[in-house]
Amino acid sequence: MPQLDHFVTLGRSGLRVSPLCLGAMTFGEDWGFGSPVEQSLEVIDAYLDAGGNFIDTANIYTKGHSEQIIGDHLCSKPALRDSLVIATKWLGNMFPGDPNAGGAHRKNLYTSVEHSLRRLQTDYIDLLWMHFWDQHTPIDETMRALDDLVRAGKVRYVGFSDTPAWKCAQAQLLAHFNSWSPLIALQIEYSLAERTPEADLIPMAKEMGMGVTPWSPLKGGLLTGKYARNKRPAEGDAKRADWLEKHLENEKTLNLLDTLIEVAAETERPPAEVALAWCRQQSGIHSSIIGARTLEQLKSNLASLSLTLSDEHLKKLNDDSKPDLPFPHPFLDFVRTTVQNDTTINGVTCDAWPLSPKDDSERW
């Protein structure tokens, strides 16, 4: 049975991380929502006491306060620092009107890392993510600058978040060709309600040696069991209501929620635990990012580690959450019989291709 201290190596690296990563986006109330400092510290301590070692934040989260909360807490327990994997992100612009305060270029990267080190009150960042793709900066500039930070000892590992698959592949090949520090991980949105990364991002990550760390594996609360065909957001929850209603008007999503609740009843576990267990059991997934604001949410998320879904339950969930993938993926499925032609390869069996020669007399 998986546990929080049953670590996995992240991507093609030796970095050991917990199978559930503690996301810190809601540490601090500076955005008008989130957890007060005392509550954030309780969540950190409970996660660490349960055996976790992987905490994820970003320079822009709660205007920098998220990093500061983590840094202050680690300073109060200095022996903890080297046993933890602290991940943060750069790229977001925290200074309106300054064009160089955001982006993936060398100037902003160096400045942002120095600010993150100051707020985190540490000498190094274990895993530095490019938060999203900057279309205005050449990717070779970004990768060389990241490699310089690794060589300087300020960063241990690097990864990308929310970047197209082709750009990730380009960056990885540049790194390998030039003997720069490679990307070891990819952080993307992925859940039962958002499976489109299965088209290109997840296969690319597996092929290129990047471990996948999904964010929002509960789709912003949609998959927690609070919402269903006949359960809508509370009237007072205006911020969340508009976003959720968009999904709850979709018949495919409603069918998925029906199935999720059905599987939850059959396994006698809350829907959130089922959704997290499904994510953990998907190929290529290394460590899902959980964004617990309260101790109760954290305990429920961690409890998902004790649930392993059966093949039958996985099939039910997979069938009702199957995404519509873009070209060429539907076409490649269509022509699979042309390639395999009545054979089984790596466990995949295909029918005979009806247009192929039936015997030697039909071959030219």
Strand, coil or helix: what is 17? strand
Kindly provide the residue ranges of all beta strands, DSSP E only, lying in 121-279, ordered along the sequence. Answer: 125-130, 155-161, 183-189, 211-215
Name residue, tokens 């993936």: 104
Residues 6+ apart with CB under 8 A from 330: none
To the nearest 10 degrees (0 to 180), the angle between helices 238-248 and 251-267 is 100
Q: What is the largest CA-CA distance in the chain?
A: 81
Residue pair 87/57 in contact (Cβ under 8 Å)? The answer is yes
Selecting among 61, 157, 190, 227, the annotated active-site residue is 61
For the chain, state the CA radius of gyration. 22
Strand, coil or helix: what is 183? strand
The residues that bridge with 215 in the sheet, in sequence order, are: 189
Give CA separation, 30 vs 16, 22, 158, 173, 238, in Å. Answer: 32, 19, 28, 39, 18
Residue 47 is among the residues annotated as catalytic for this protein: no
d(CA 91, CA 16): 25
Q: Which two tokens stand for residue 191?
A: 């859940």
Q: Which two tokens stand for residue 48?
A: 């660490």
Residue type, 299: K
Q: What amino acid positions are annotated as catalytic residues?
A: 61
